[in-house]
Amino acid sequence: KISPDDLCGHSVAVQTGTAQETAAQQKSKACTKAGKKPIDLLSYASQSDATTNVAGGKADVLYADSVITGYAIKQTSKLEALGNITDASMFGVVTAKNDGGLSKAIQAATQKLIDDGTMKKLLTSWGTEDGLIETSKVNPES
């Protein structure tokens, strides 16, 4: 079984332009610095292409956020999670600063979905309930 702590020498599928692509590049540099084989980084334009290539055996590991991996695991019996969530980050909706109150309306609607349990039901239906937050905020501190 592959360890998420040592991906050196393994093929790792990521979506182009993601934080996971950057992290995998950094991990690969650490591999070579330690005298190990680098990660064979396979970058794909879409997340579904990265997932399909792991499920199809063209890559050893899918490196993606927990929401993506939770959904991918739910969709196919060919994938399993390795380890726990690391490097957690927040997701959000971006609006223009002069949005006429749109950001506050989105925040209020999101909070209502959290409070009445709808958000948990939605996330659970996609296998992504680990992404549930307790409070929706406008411009939260990172």
Query: Structural domain of residue 68, as residue ranges?
Result: 11-75
Per-residue pLDDT at 73: 86
Query: Taking a C-beta distance cutoff of 8 angstroms, is the pair 54, 61 a contact?
Result: yes
The tens digit of pLDDT for each residue in 101-133 reads 999 999 999 999 999 999 999 988 877 787 788
Same domain for 18 and 66, yes or no, is yes
84 belongs to a structural domain: no
Look at residue 91 and tell me whether its pLDDT is greater than 90.
Answer: no
pTM: 0.71
Same domain for 106 and 140, yes or no, is yes
Same domain for 71 and 96, yes or no, is no
